[in-house]
Structure formats: C-alpha cells, structure tokens
Amino acid sequence: MNKITLAKYIAIIVFFVFGTHNRLFAEQENHESEAKKKLDVGALIMDHVLDAHEWHILSYNDFHLSVPLPVIVYSQTSGLNIFMSSKFHHEHKYVPYKGFALATEGVLKGKIYEVNEDGTPKTTTIVKNGEKVEEAVLPLDFSITKNVVALFVSLIIILWVFISIANKYKGVQKAPTGLQNAIEPLILFIRDDIAKPAIGAKKYEKYMPYLLTVFMFIFFNNLLGLIPIFPGGANLTGNISITFVLAIFTFIITTRNANKNYWVHIFNAPGVPWWLKYPIPLMPLVEVIGVFTKPFVLMVRLFANITAGHIIVLGFFSLIFIFGEMSVGVGYGISIVSIAFTIFMSVLELLVAFIQAYVFTLLSALYFGMATEEHH
C-alpha cells in the first residue's frame, strides 16, 4: 500500500469517525453534478455551529441522512401548527408547507417564515431608520430544534447520573464504586476548591446545588458536543442563547442574595475620594456597569471558546477539500497534516470542556461570595 493510498484511507476513516455530522459536501438545492460542486467552507461551518430544524447526520454525494424534528409554530392567521420538518423537503428541494417555508439562505437562513398561496413570502411594512421597508412575516416558533433535543438528552443523562449516585448514599454507606467513584471527586472538587474558598465555609452550602448543576450541565454538554454521532455533535454550549440563560441565572442569584455591604460598595465605596463620587457619580456609575458586565463576560466567554473549538476543527477538515480542488495529490498530502491537527484539537477540546465548566462555576461562586461578604 503506497503512502497516497494510506493517506486516503486515513482521511476516510477519520471523516466517518470524527466528522459524519459535518456537511463536508455543501447541499445544493438544484443538486448539480458532483464535478460542479464546490465546498463552501463558510456554509459548512455555520451549518454546524448554528441551530437547525433537523438533525443532520451524514451527507455523501446525493445521499443525505437527517433526523426530522417537530415544528411547532403559531401564526396570527392560521393559529397553532404542528408538523415534522421533513414536510419542507420534496425531491431534494425545500418547499412550503401549510403556509410556512424554511429559509435556506440570506439573513433568515434556518428560520421559518410565512408564505402566500402562490409561495411568495408574506411581508409587512415597518419603519426602519425613518424609511418604510418590507419585512418577512415570522410566526412564533416553539419548535423542537437540534439544540432543544440535545438539551433534553443532556438533562436525561445528568438526572440519571445524579439520581443513581444519590441512591447509593441511602442506607448503609459503602466505598464508592463505578459511576459514583468517577463523579464523587468532581463533587468534592466543586465543594472544597470552588464553593468554600470563594463563598465561605458558613454560606457555601446554600449555593452548592446551583454550582453543581451549572458545572455538570456545561461539562456534560461540552463532552457531548465532541461526539460526532447522533445524539452528540450539537453545539449547545456554543449557542449564545444557552449561555445567556446561564449568565442570567448567576446574575439573579447574585442580585437576590446581595447584602447591604455589597450595595454600599457599589454606590458609596469606602476609601474612594469624594470628588469621584460627588457631584458627578463617576465611580458609582462604573460599579453599576460592572454589575451587568460580569454576567455578560460569563455569557460571551463560554459561547466564544466552545464555538471557536468547533470552527477550528471544521477548518482543518476543510483544508483537505480546499487543496483537493486545486490538486488531488496536494489534497492527499495535506490530509495527513490536517488530520493530525484535528486529532490534536479534539484531544485539546477534552481539556477545554472541563476548563470552561470550571471557569464559569468559579466566577459564579466568586460573584456570590462578593455579594454576601460581611463588612470587616
């Protein structure tokens, strides 16, 4: 077996092991001949990192394997409509169904919009920047999308893990084994190295349920995002809507439990020169802004780091086909380097999965500790 053939087999194996969920061949609505197809790297990456109304598993030539998901939309004209996303597909094309259509390009890509009987988009006139413009009519979308399914899967796994471990602590105490032996060090780590030092030995127990939940949620979903086969591969923690909700929870808990000392340091910090506080409240303004920037940083850090990891891996994969379009020999040659870097990044992502869960949990604990710290 020569080196080129060996590289070819390695590329095929890694493609199916690490990247069966990635659209390495961009879908074309008119399904042109394979010779005319070009790899759209931007579309490939965005299709992976964004949410979708179907769970794409595999594409090869004209064969596309996807799991359809429930579409639940409410329109002011037709009311509540429930159907499967496969209704939008007909003979390798996206078609309207029940007065709705799925956008495959443009600013509305991936969203469902309403259409008229002749298939043209419904529009409404709005005033934007002082000018009247036509905008597509979007229904209220409550669909079970790819990220929602991934969310349910992770919740089931987390509940199974914690309930099964909790049951082992009932009755006669025994030495931990199996799953309990694997998870207990993480629980002790969060308690002894995050919660206690950041919040204090007297108050940490109140926040342990949330800290454990947010750590395990982020950690498990980061790991599931690295699994290339269904039901893994979703970019859940790289979705800014998810990180936004997590950050909002931290913000609410911090604000709700903040004591008098916390608010005094924000509006009238001791030791700060009076001319920085009166008559222009410069420092109080900075502190108030800081109250909102802290959860914002939590949101963006998790979203950016997880999404960047997916983009880098897909970028290395894409190099094989980009150079392959230039020259088959060069494509085979670059595949060795590309696959090596992809494997390296996949291993590194295992570390990142833990680090990002740790950082989010640690910062949340620090915010709780700052909000409940007593005056000395």
User: Is residue 216 situated within a structural domain?
Assistant: yes
Q: In this structure, are 186 and 318 located in the same domain?
A: yes
Half-sphere exposure of 65 (CA within 13 A, CB side): 8
Q: In this structure, are 80 and 178 located in the same domain?
A: no
Rounded to whole angstroms, the Cα distance separating 96 from 17 reads: 35
Digit-coded pLDDT (tens) for 95-122: 888 889 888 887 788 888 888 888 788 8
Q: In this structure, are 107 and 164 located in the same domain?
A: no
Contact 128, 143 (CB under 8 A): no
Averaged over successive runs of 10 residues, the pLDDT of the chain (376 residues) comes to: 42 38 37 49 73 79 78 89 86 82 82 85 80 84 91 92 85 75 89 92 90 94 85 85 94 90 78 72 82 91 87 80 77 81 82 92 93 75
pLDDT at 61: 66
Q: In this structure, are 318 and 197 located in the same domain?
A: yes
Predicted structure pTM score: 0.79
Which tokens sit at 253?
A: 């808990």
| Number of independent structural domains in the chain | 2
At 217 the three-state DSSP class reads helix
State the DSSP code for 205: G
Q: In this structure, are 182 and 252 located in the same domain?
A: yes
Digit-coded pLDDT (tens) for 128-159: 777 777 888 889 989 999 999 999 999 999 99
Q: In this structure, are 169 and 207 located in the same domain?
A: yes
Estimate to the nearest angstrom the gap between the alpha carbon of 279 and the chain centroid. 45
- The domain of 350 spans 146-372
Given 143, 167, 188, the domain boundary residue is: 143
Given 121, 143, 165, the domain boundary residue is: 143
Rounded to whole angstroms, the Cα distance separating 338 from 316 reads: 5
User: Is residue 299 situated within a structural domain?
Assistant: yes
Q: In this structure, are 170 and 131 located in the same domain?
A: no
Q: What angle do CA 367, 210, 224 make, to 5 degrees?
A: 110
